[in-house]
């Protein structure tokens, strides 16, 4: 079939669709149960809410080519690479990028468990694409359609599936790249590198302060939530829960604002004039340049490959 119609129509045998759906449902249920169990194990108590937030620079003490790399070069070249990766279109380029990111992760000697957690946070959003895009992608000439007799009106477009998978591959690749970028130096060093690159110093300071206070407020939230549970509060789907949550938020904001004023006063009392003293030493060695050029060249190569040779 040529011209305006779809390229191929494959009709599946009846009975395949329920089977596929059943397998998908079982896999999904297993995944959810596994995540719940893992989350409960990590937080040690209530299985419904996991408050723990991993530390951003958790692997900053290691030894690897990323750890020894000047933060300025690391930021510019890995961010550049990330933009080259999201500019690609084909599934093959996406998978190549994913392999590249995984190799970088291995070279940085970052535990897979850490990186996996980043990926888990994105599963919901990406799953939406995998499920929806094959069913809603506009049929173009040359598309292969898979038709299940049970839902003949909703053909499954393989080009849509490929599109969704390429999105997933790029998203996962960039997410994995964040680990070598951010976890291989103390956060203050990374942010100082950002400042040296011309980003206003205030931005780095704000990120550093906010990052610190997140953990303070998490502790506060945990305390408040324990108090509520002790008094018999259980979350359910009804108005009372929402009222309690509203009050809870209000209390959190009031406490944080009061703390804000106190923190600010204390900082001024210690001579804060809008700057933090820096500690990092930034000296560009030839190796820094080489690594930077290497990653940018990889990004360009990937994009050229994607636009010129890959379908």
Partner 1 sequence: MHISDGVLPVGAALASGAASLAIAAWSARRIQGEELPKVAVVTASFFVASLLHVPLGPTSVHLLIPGLVGVLLGRAAFLAIALGLVLQSLLFQFGGLTALGANALMMGIPALICGWLFQTFKGQARKRQVLVGGLAGGLGTVFSGLILALLLATGGEDFFGVARLALLAHVPVVAIEALVSAFTVSFLLKVKPELLQARDALHRES
Using CB under 8 A, which residues numbered 14 to 53 contact partner 1? Answer: 48-49, 51, 53
For partner 1, give the closer residue by CB, 14 or 247.
247
Count of residues interacting with partner 1 (CB under 8 A): 88
Instruction: Tell the smallest beta-carbon distance from residue 94 to partner 1 (Å).
Output: 7
Instruction: Tell the smallest beta-carbon distance from residue 85 to partner 1 (Å).
Output: 7
Q: Mark 181-203 as b/e (b = at least 16 C-beta within 10 Å).
A: bbbbbebbbbbbbbbbeeeebee
- Determine which residue in the list 243, 285, 287, 293 makes contact with partner 1, applying CB under 8 A: 243
- Interface mask (CB under 8 A) for partner 1, residues 219-238, using x and -? -xx-------------xxx-
- Determine which residue in the list 65, 211, 305, 310 makes contact with partner 1, applying CB under 8 A: 211
For the chain, the first-to-last Cα distance in angstroms comes to: 20
By CB under 8 A, the residues from 178 to 197 that bind partner 1 are 178, 182, 187
Q: Considering only 2-10, 59-67, 268-276, 294-302, which stretch makes contact with partner 1 by CB under 8 A?
A: 268-276
Instruction: Tell the smallest beta-carbon distance from residue 237 to partner 1 (Å).
Output: 5
Cβ-contact 155, 11 below 8 angstroms? no
Nearest CA among 105, 15, 4, 125 for reference residue 59: 105
Nearest CA among 120, 93, 102 for reference residue 36: 120
- Determine which residue in the list 260, 285, 289, 300 makes contact with partner 1, applying CB under 8 A: 260
Q: How far apart are CA 303 and CA 47, in angstroms?
A: 44
Q: Considering only 37-45, 61-69, 160-168, 285-293, which stretch makes contact with partner 1 by CB under 8 A?
A: 160-168
Cβ-contact 98, 177 below 8 angstroms? no
Q: What are phi and psi of 165, to 5 degrees?
A: -65, -35
- Determine which residue in the list 11, 106, 135, 285 makes contact with partner 1, applying CB under 8 A: 135
Two tokens, residue 195: 């400042």
């Amino acid at each position: 079939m040529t011209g305006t119609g779809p390229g191929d129509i494959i009709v599946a045998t009846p009975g395949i669709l329920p089977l596929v759906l059943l397998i998908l449902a079982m896999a999904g249920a297993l995944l959810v149960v596994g995540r719940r169990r893992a989350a409960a194990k990590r937080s040690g108590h209530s299985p419904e809410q996991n408050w723990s937030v991993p530390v951003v620079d958790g692997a900053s003490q290691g030894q690897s080519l990323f750890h020894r790399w000047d933060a300025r070069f690391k930021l510019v070249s890995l961010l550049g690479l990330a933009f080259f990766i999201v500019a690609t279109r084909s599934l093959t380029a996406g998978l190549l990028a994913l392999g590249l990111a995984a190799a970088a992760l291995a070279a940085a000697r970052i535990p897979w468990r850490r990186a996996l957690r980043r990926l888990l946070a994105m599963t919901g959003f990406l799953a939406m694409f995998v499920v929806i895009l094959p069913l809603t992608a506009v049929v173009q000439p040359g598309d292969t359609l898979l038709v299940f007799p049970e839902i003949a009106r909703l053909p499954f477009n393989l080009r849509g599936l490929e599109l969704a998978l390429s999105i997933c591959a790029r998203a996962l690749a960039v997410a994995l790249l964040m680990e070598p970028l951010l976890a291989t130096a103390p956060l203050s060093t990374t942010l100082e590198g950002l400042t040296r690159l011309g980003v206003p110093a205030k931005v780095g300071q704000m990120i550093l302060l906010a990052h610190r206070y997140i953990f303070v407020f998490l502790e506060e939230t945990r305390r408040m939530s324990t108090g509520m549970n002790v008094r018999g509060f259980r979350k359910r789907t009804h108005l009372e829960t929402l009222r309690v949550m509203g009050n809870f938020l209000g209390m959190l904001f009031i406490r944080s604002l009061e703390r804000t004023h106190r923190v600010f006063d204390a900082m001024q009392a210690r001579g804060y004039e809008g700057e933090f003293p820096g500690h990092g030493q930034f000296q560009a060695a030839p190796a820094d340049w080489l690594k930077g050029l290497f990653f940018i060249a990889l990004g360009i190569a990937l994009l050229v490959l994607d636009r010129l040779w890959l379908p």
